[in-house]
A and B are shown apart, each in its own frame.
Chain A
């Protein structure tokens, strides 16, 4: 059995294993009914099929942390519902289902390096770098002397993701985006 974690110590993003299935903690709520002991209702993503499931545990229970390894890979290309990465130590190709990538696809461009999380020989998640730099492909020209309070506008970047950016950003600009929030950070000079 792998390393254990107490229910009171769980955190969002922790990967655990229940009866052979890997899960990632999405959210949790501690509850304590009158005359009863403490429990936690935990929302978890089943990392094999991407579904969100809810479980209730006693706070005194322990969960087993999923025994995962991480491997640096480079994103090559995608076809259909499959994303293809290359392990640049072995040059092996690693194929990953679209469901596993989920919304992270919006931060991936060809040639990017990410780490693939591998559980029992299978990629169950990818870890993005904290920031990515992407090129703006579509945005309206910001009006000069705009007096309305809203100083942002939508911009589409090369991966298809839409980000709120300051009005001075133009098509062709490179912008730095925080992958945990999906928010614009700053303009980057080439």
Chain B
């Protein structure tokens, strides 16, 4: 198909996205949330070493980054006293182009003062059930509540036979255990590498395709911006819907010293305003990021995020060579 044929075939997608955004906005406004807009370009981009930002430059040569998530701005608003904020943001992640990733995509994020990750799980469950009742979704998912929750330790142990707890402080033995299971463990593999190798190979394919599933309590190397639950696990969860990872939420890390430690570990520009704000902030923050293109693709029964984006990366001059996912 040509670009123009593809665009004509996406009339339902235009309607679907407009409808989804309208329902989301009504939902949050009804709860007293404040919708905001935050910058796309900033001098830092966060802590996730597995996300490559798009890098640009100010006229004076200062390095700037397209935002991979609006989270820091939204948390600053909560610190400033806006106790419930949400944004439908455009975010950018370099090099991520698969049937479930477009380098530029739409993300819904919200942050609430005084909430924990359990509250956030409840809220996202409520939101999606609400959306589903208003939107003529074609998905075939059993959304009856409460949605199933499983700790990462339990689901990992169930499908890999490995209890993460046994290898808390012992990377060497964890790697050895994976090797015993037949994995080719290279010398430069980290704890994270081996964890995800097993997760992608053994756990993810087993995540139910017909209903939602929350996986919660990730070990600290995978904690992102979540607060500690104990000395090893963090209060982070992921929501899978129809087997697709759709949202990531936290009891936000509000300890300024630990926050600073994580920023310095990554070694890039530190968001000083954020750390300073946390020093004077009391209480918890619950927050989440929901991938809206994936939610839309599920609701509309499409196969790839490129099917619900009017101009996917291959249609903006973004792909060098053949577009193996879309055209």
Q: Within 8 Å CB of A122, what residues of B? A: none
Q: Within 8 Å CB of B238, what residues of A? A: 34
Smallest CB separation, B223 vs chain A (Å): 8
Q: Within 8 Å CB of A121, what residues of B? A: none
Q: Within 8 Å CB of B199, what residues of A? A: 33, 36
- Per the 8 Å Cβ criterion, residues 1-56 of A in contact with B are 18-19, 29-39, 41, 56
Smallest CB separation, B202 vs chain A (Å): 9
Q: Within 8 Å CB of B269, what residues of A? A: none
- A138 at interface, CB cutoff 8 A: no
A58 touches B197 (CB 8 A): yes
Q: Within 8 Å CB of B101, what residues of A? A: 32
CA A58 – CA B96 in complex, angstroms? 14
- B98 at interface, CB cutoff 8 A: yes
A36 touches B201 (CB 8 A): no
B98 touches A39 (CB 8 A): no
Q: A36-B222, A37-B50 are in contact. Are A31 and B186 (CB under 8 A)?
A: no
Smallest CB separation, A63 vs chain B (Å): 11
A35 touches B224 (CB 8 A): yes
B192 touches A41 (CB 8 A): no
- B255 at interface, CB cutoff 8 A: no
Q: Within 8 Å CB of B189, what residues of A? A: 58
- B204 at interface, CB cutoff 8 A: yes
Q: Within 8 Å CB of A110, what residues of B? A: none
B96 touches A32 (CB 8 A): yes
B50 touches A35 (CB 8 A): yes
- B119 at interface, CB cutoff 8 A: no
- B104 at interface, CB cutoff 8 A: no
- A61 at interface, CB cutoff 8 A: yes
- B48 at interface, CB cutoff 8 A: yes
Q: Which residue of B lies closest to A30 (CB)?
A: B98
- Per the 8 Å Cβ criterion, residues 41-96 of A in contact with B are 41, 56, 58, 61
Q: Which residue of A lies closest to B97 (CB)?
A: A30
Q: Within 8 Å CB of A34, what residues of B? A: 238, 245, 248
Q: Within 8 Å CB of A39, what residues of B? A: 196-197, 200
Q: Within 8 Å CB of A37, what residues of B? A: 50, 192-193, 196
CA A162 – CA B83 in complex, angstroms? 69
Q: Which residue of B lies closest to A8 (CB)?
A: B95
B193 touches A33 (CB 8 A): no
Q: Within 8 Å CB of A35, what residues of B? A: 48, 50, 218, 222, 224, 248
B248 touches A31 (CB 8 A): no
Smallest CB separation, B189 vs chain A (Å): 8
Q: Which residue of A lies closest to B52 (CB)?
A: A38
A61 touches B245 (CB 8 A): no
- Per the 8 Å Cβ criterion, residues 165-210 of B in contact with A are 184, 186, 189, 192-193, 195-197, 199-201, 204
Task: Output the residue of B101, B196, B238 with the most chain A CB within 10 A.
Answer: B196
Smallest CB separation, A159 vs chain B (Å): 33
CA A34 – CA B100 in complex, angstroms? 12
Q: Which residue of B lies closest to A37 (CB)?
A: B50
CA A31 – CA B199 in complex, angstroms? 11
Q: Which residue of B lies closest to A54 (CB)?
A: B201
Residue A58 contacts which of B98, B193, B245, B248 (CB distance < 8 angstroms)? Answer: B193
Smallest CB separation, B20 vs chain A (Å): 21
Smallest CB separation, A99 vs chain B (Å): 24
CA A56 – CA B196 in complex, angstroms? 10
Q: Within 8 Å CB of B222, what residues of A? A: 35-36
Instruction: Provide the B232-254 mask, 1 if CB < 8 A to any CB of A, else 0.
Output: 00000010000001001000000
Q: Within 8 Å CB of A29, what residues of B? A: 98
CA A61 – CA B187 in complex, angstroms? 12
Smallest CB separation, B123 vs chain A (Å): 19
Given contacts A33-B204, A35-B218, A36-B196, 16 further A-B contacts (CB under 8 A): A32-B50, A33-B200, A34-B248, A35-B48, A35-B222, A35-B248, A36-B50, A36-B199, A36-B200, A36-B222, A37-B192, A38-B96, A39-B197, A56-B197, A56-B200, A58-B193
Top 9 A-B residue pairs of the complex, sorted by shortest distance between their CB atoms: A56-B201, A36-B196, A30-B98, A39-B200, A37-B50, A34-B248, A35-B222, A56-B200, A35-B224
Q: List 9 A-B contacts (CB under 8 A).
A: A30-B98, A31-B100, A32-B50, A33-B199, A33-B245, A34-B238, A34-B245, A35-B248, A56-B200
Q: Interface on A for B, CB 8 Å cutoff?
A: 18-19, 29-39, 41, 56, 58, 61
